[in-house]
Amino acid sequence: MAAIVLAAYNARYAHCSLGLRCLMANLGELAPRAEMLEFGLELRAAEAAEAVLALKPRIAGLGVYVWNARESAMLAAELKRLCPELILVLGGPEVSYETDAQEICRCADFIITGEADFAFAGLCRRLLAGGAPDAKLIQAPPPDLAALELPYGLYTGEDIAGRVIYTEASRGCPFGCEFCLSSLDKAVRCFPLEKLFAAWESLLAKGALRFKFTDRTFNLDAGRAGLVLDFFLKRYRPGLFLHFETVPDRFPEELFGLLRKFPPGSLQLEAGVQTFNEDAARRINRRQDNAAVERSLRRLRGETGAYLHADLIAGLPGEDLQSFAAGFDRLYTLRPHEIQLGMLKRLRGAPISRHDGEWGMVYSPSPPYEIRQNRLLDFFTVQRLRRFARYWDLVVNSGVFAGAAEELCRGGSPFGAFLAFSGWLYARTGQTHAISRARLRGLLAEYLVSELKRDVKTTAVMMERDAVNSLRRRGGLPRRQALRNNSGETSAG
């Protein structure tokens, strides 16, 4: 039995919950009386509630994020219906803002907003001793990162063997981009590198190979970033994979020198370009040197073996379809391995909401709160962009149809060409999901021949070559070193 249960839904099995492990690591003398439960999004609320209640806890803490808000709300309601005396504590970014408007918050006994590493432990001590805070809402001050117990000893052998190890070298972001909750935390705070190096050394010794850094701006401090890269470079072994979220216009020469030394397939760099429209960027308080972004991406693509993942956001206030298309084409010419087209989201608490009136911003009321329309993009155009993003992932980002993808985007505007294909594909299928790879291959070949007038025999040879390469990626044939992230992950937060 456990006095405390910490629980969260993960976006998929390969994800580990770093937040739960941080809370567990800092429970101090209460840690032996606590258990940690992680669920997949497919698990029904009744089964999750059963797992929690079987441990007969007095306190249950739920980590609530945009990707698990719906499932967490269902679980919270089940727990309080089945066991009203259970003390339910919520934490996480989704419940740190606009708490009065959320049904899940009405189920809770206490809500901790902000970073709860120390605050959750303090609350549990008080509750287990028979006391209770006067207020339901507890604002946690940012903890001293040097004083935190690191959570990496809580990664199990199963985690190390089959999941991505989430880690962080810093918290916070100095930039004020209004679509991001990190814009509310202006200070960047850093963990002591000596403690991190010791923890990572231990993980490597246990066989850990896949590390995903959650830092919002890994390369903000080039000196620290260089020390982290050098640490892993000196301990490199085949299979090591590192993912970093980077500031794309800040790559000094010393970082390029280190990045060049990593073998192909060992690094994934996520470059948050977001927009090339300077007026839209200023409007949302985003500072970015677009010329420097282009120089960095060209050099990263041409001089390093890093897998380059670049992000763009559709639906920003003041950016129309023509401007977004121009930005997409500009990014495409820089040849990142992957372009992730994300729809603008109005996260709870994010300052982007201040543009709602002027720009007619309309968002979905349900997580992940994606844009539905605005003054420059009507609902039907936004729907076309959402389908574009989905099909781009299936056809281009997957790497499965490399030849066909090149052929689709050849000549003129890559955005315009793929938007035309996207419209044709949706008209033919009426689907954005549950399209088998074999069916998609046939539809691609049909489009290339019937609509783009490509040669039948040449197209057949190209599609067969893509199919063989696809088998290699899936292990059906001897495979070459893959450049793609072998965890299959995208950004979790």
Helical (H) or strand (E) element with 35: strand 34-40
Band of pLDDT at residue 474, cut at 50, 70 and 90: low
Average pLDDT, the chain: 93
Phi, psi angle pair for 253, to nearest 5°: -60, -35
Going by C-alpha positions, the residue among 143, 171, 158, 115 that lies closest to residue 16 is: 158
DSSP E strands in 184-321: the ranges are: 189-190, 210-213, 241-246, 267-274, 307-314
Band of pLDDT at residue 482, cut at 50, 70 and 90: very low
Looking at residue 484, its pLDDT comes to 34
Residue 120 to residue 257: CA distance in whole angstroms: 42
In the predicted structure, residue 490 carries a pLDDT above the cut 70? no
Q: What is the DSSP letter of 460?
A: H
Looking at residue 182, its pLDDT comes to 81
Whose tokens are 């691609």? That residue is 444
Q: What is the DSSP letter of 94?
A: G
Looking at residue 476, its pLDDT comes to 40
Going by C-alpha positions, the residue among 409, 410, 427 that lies closest to residue 418 is: 409
Q: Residue 363, SS3?
A: strand
User: What are the tens digits of pLDDT across the range 135-162?
Assistant: 999 999 999 999 999 999 999 999 999 9
Q: What is the DSSP letter of 345?
A: B
In the predicted structure, residue 340 carries a pLDDT above the cut 60? yes
Looking at residue 472, its pLDDT comes to 64
- The mean pLDDT of 115-123, rounded to a whole number, is 98
Looking at residue 471, its pLDDT comes to 72
Looking at residue 387, its pLDDT comes to 98
The answer to whether the CB of 374 falls within 8 A of the CB of 359 is: yes
In the predicted structure, residue 7 carries a pLDDT above the cut 60? yes
User: What are the tens digits of pLDDT across the range 374-388?
Assistant: 999 999 999 999 999
Residue 423 to residue 336: CA distance in whole angstroms: 24
- Residues contacting 232, CB < 8 A, separation 6+: 200, 211, 240, 242
- Residues contacting 24, CB < 8 A, separation 6+: 6, 31, 34, 36, 151, 154
- The mean pLDDT of 119-126, rounded to a whole number, is 98
User: What number of helices (H) and strands (E) belong to the chain?
Assistant: 18, 16
Please, is 315 exposed, middle or buried when counting C-beta atoms within 10 Å of its C-beta (0-12, 13-18, 19+)?
buried
Looking at residue 346, its pLDDT comes to 97
Classify the C-alpha dihedral 245-251-256-257 as positive or negative.
Answer: negative
Q: What is the pTM of this model?
A: 0.92
Residue 231 to residue 255: CA distance in whole angstroms: 13
Q: Parallel, antiparallel, or unpaired: how do β-strands 371-373 and 189-190 relate?
A: unpaired
Band of pLDDT at residue 477, cut at 50, 70 and 90: very low
Residues β-bridged to residue 34 = 4
User: What are the tens digits of pLDDT across the range 197-208?
Assistant: 999 999 999 999
- The mean pLDDT of 454-470, rounded to a whole number, is 92
Q: Residue 64, SS3?
A: coil
In the predicted structure, residue 301 carries a pLDDT above the cut 80? yes
The answer to whether the CB of 62 falls within 8 A of the CB of 8 is: yes
Residues β-bridged to residue 113 = 139
Q: What is the DSSP letter of 17?
A: -
Torsion of CA 133, 138, 142, 148, to 10 degrees: 50
Band of pLDDT at residue 473, cut at 50, 70 and 90: low
In the predicted structure, residue 488 carries a pLDDT above the cut 80? no
Query: How far are the Cα atoms of 444, 451, 466 from residue 408, in angstroms, in the given order?
Result: 9, 10, 14
Supply the DSSP string of 123-159, one letter for each residue: HHHHHHTT---S-SEEEPPPP-GGGSPP-GGG--HHH
Q: Residue 86, SS3?
A: coil
